[in-house]
Amino acid sequence: MKITQARVIVCCPGRNFVTLKIETDAGLHGVGDATLNGRELAVAGYLQNHVLPCLIGRDPQQIEDIWHYLYKGAYWRRGPVTMSAIAAVDTALWDIKAKIAGQPLYQLLGGRSRTGVMAYGHATGRDIAETVEEVLRHKEAGYRAIRAQSGVPGLEKVYGVSTQGRLYEPADAALPSEHDWDSSKYLRHTPRLFEAVRGAVGEDVHLLHDVHHRLTPVQAAQLGRSLEPYRLFWMEDPTPAENQEAFALIRQHTTTPIAVGEVFNSIWDCKTLIEKQWIDYIRTTVTHAGGITHLRRIADLAALYQVKTGSHGATDLSPICMGAALHFDTWVPNFGLQEYMPHSELMLSVFPHDWRFERGMLYCGESPGHGVDIDEQLAARYPYQRAYLPINRLQHDGSLHDW
Ligand code: CS2
Ligand code: MG
């Protein structure tokens, strides 16, 4: 079997998505997600100019060899652009391999380990009362795990909180919008939020929170400790993780579980965090961490140290990534939790899919492959629109801070 054609499709049905479609001489095709929020065209260009010419004529069944051909063959290893491009190829090739076998993808990975995939939803509000209301609405809808974020008094815009009352989409402007930040205000407010949320929702729901890289290690340790009475399922991205050693300090001071890794793109980004058991959940997912082939390496390393998966599932990952991730989650022995942030109806119609959400659980489909495709004609009606993630400045003097 040979790859006969490969093309990159960029579309914006409400937000930008980069999709790779690989076709074969057997009449089968596969698709992969290559979306890198705010830097979409860099990955599209990398694929278009440097990857696609090398794919034509290759046997699509040689997934492992093609992965290493693209990783080692580039000489310039790792990085979000390279790894998202490799991930898209890898996802499309797994899709093709499973279609050849006539099996849903999870069967090729080793079969089903669970009946469904536990998902967490996002409850956000402009203040504590609104967030509590949203948490209760999610509980009512059947969610067993809920992430709670709220506006902070004295701060105008906060990560995760929509000011227009619609679904939150962080890449909200053609040039980066500017947010203001004050860690002391946030550190005072967040324990109050969780006191109210835990009081209202009871004991049976898992509660999560995303710090979004805003704190220093010692501030993160303070926050983790102050949240212990509310028994969080996890505290996410408490501090930036380029320096993996930073997590040793957080770990010394708090037993609040820690989840990290949505911005990681390889096993090397989390090797020390996992081996030292400084984290409890690894948040890498298919698109940004080198596809199914590389994600499996990360999950296997994590399993040795009882670290579980907690895959990123924001709307900047396309429904293709979600489909592939759900097959992965259905198989992976050390599964923890899957993030679920619903795409709009329009986005879902551009990507016909067989996965579904039902009362707090996600289920992959049973059709051959990963079960997601792209409607190219519909996609063509929604061309790319430049959109950036925001930046953050300290409120008192305008210094650039982590967003
Ligand atoms: C977030 C993301 O889902 C999450 O936990 O941190 O929404 C993140 O802000 C976006 O993926 C950025 O593109
Ligand atoms: Mg996050």
- CATH code of residue 20: 3.30.390.10
Q: Output the CA–CA distances (angstroms, integers) from residue 272 to 114, 243, 298, 301, in the order listed.
A: 29, 10, 12, 11
Identify whether residues 100 and 118 lie together within a single domain: no
CB of 316 sitting under 6 A from ligand 1? yes
> What's residue 163's pLDDT?
65
Identify whether residues 311 and 279 lie together within a single domain: yes
Task: Identify the residue whose C-alpha is closest to ligand 1 atom 4.
Answer: 314
Identify whether residues 347 and 219 lie together within a single domain: yes
- Tell whether 387 is covered by a domain: no
Task: Indicate the residue among 104, 129, 164 that finishes a domain.
Answer: 104
> What's residue 160's pLDDT?
83
CB of 314 sitting under 6 A from ligand 1? yes
CB of 40 sitting under 6 A from ligand 1? no
Identify whether residues 163 and 268 lie together within a single domain: yes
> What's residue 239's pLDDT?
98
Task: Indicate the residue among 52, 70, 104 that finishes a domain.
Answer: 104
SS (H, E, C) 311-368: ECCCCCCCHHHHHHHHHHHHHCCCEEEEECCCCCHHHHHHCCECCEEECCEEECCCCC
Identify whether residues 51 and 181 lie together within a single domain: no
* Token digits of residue 122: 């996002």
Under 8 Å CB-to-CB from 316, ≥6 apart: which residues? 15, 35, 37, 170, 171
Instruction: Report mean pLDDT in 10-residue bins for the chain, 403 residues.
Output: 98 98 98 98 98 98 98 97 98 99 98 98 97 98 98 91 74 95 98 98 98 98 98 98 97 98 98 98 98 98 98 98 99 98 97 98 98 98 98 97 97
Task: Identify the residue whose C-alpha is closest to ligand 1 atom 11.
Answer: 314
> What's residue 164's pLDDT?
63
DSSP label at residue 188: H
Mutate to test the pocket of ligand 1, among 312, 318, 392 (most ligand atoms within 8 A of CB): 312
**Ligand 2 centre distance from Cα of residue 66 (Å):** 30
Active site residues: 159, 212
- Tell whether 388 is covered by a domain: no
Task: Identify the residue whose C-alpha is closest to ligand 1 atom 1.
Answer: 314
Ligand nearest to the CA of 170: 1
Task: Identify the residue whose C-alpha is closest to ligand 1 atom 10.
Answer: 314
Task: Indicate the residue among 104, 133, 163 that finishes a domain.
Answer: 104
Tally of domains in the chain? 2
> What's residue 144's pLDDT?
98
Mutate to test the pocket of ligand 1, among 210, 283, 340 (most ligand atoms within 8 A of CB): 210
**Ligand 1 centre distance from Cα of residue 314 (Å):** 6
Q: Are strands 361-363 and 356-358 parallel, antiparallel or unpaired?
A: antiparallel
CB of 263 sitting under 6 A from ligand 1? no
Identify whether residues 23 and 115 lie together within a single domain: no
Ligand nearest to the CA of 37: 1
Nearest atom, ligand 1, residue 341 CA: 3
CB of 262 sitting under 6 A from ligand 1? yes
Separation between Cα atoms, residue 323 and residue 370, nearest integer Å: 6
Identify whether residues 70 and 155 lie together within a single domain: no
- Tell whether 50 is covered by a domain: yes
Separation between Cα atoms, residue 403 and residue 393, nearest integer Å: 8
**Predicted TM-score (pTM) of this structure:** 0.97
> What's residue 213's pLDDT?
98
- Tell whether 72 is covered by a domain: yes
> What's residue 169's pLDDT?
87
**Ligand 1 centre distance from Cα of residue 319 (Å):** 15
Task: Identify the residue whose C-alpha is closest to ligand 1 atom 6.
Answer: 212
Identify whether residues 296 and 156 lie together within a single domain: yes
Q: Are 169 and 15 in contact (CB under 8 A)?
A: yes
> What's residue 158's pLDDT?
84
Percentages of the chain per state (helix, strand, coil), in multiples of 5: 40, 20, 40
Identify whether residues 207 and 69 lie together within a single domain: no
> What's residue 157's pLDDT?
85
Task: Identify the residue whose C-alpha is closest to ligand 1 atom 7.
Answer: 314
Identify whether residues 78 and 123 lie together within a single domain: no
**Ligand 2 centre distance from Cα of residue 215 (Å):** 14
Torsion sign over Cα 190, 192, 193, 199: positive
- Tell whether 81 is covered by a domain: yes
What CATH number did the domain enclosing 224 receive? 3.20.20.120
Residue 94: give the domain boundaries: 3-104
Identify whether residues 161 and 179 lie together within a single domain: yes
Identify whether residues 154 and 208 lie together within a single domain: yes
Separation between Cα atoms, residue 148 and residue 63, nearest integer Å: 39
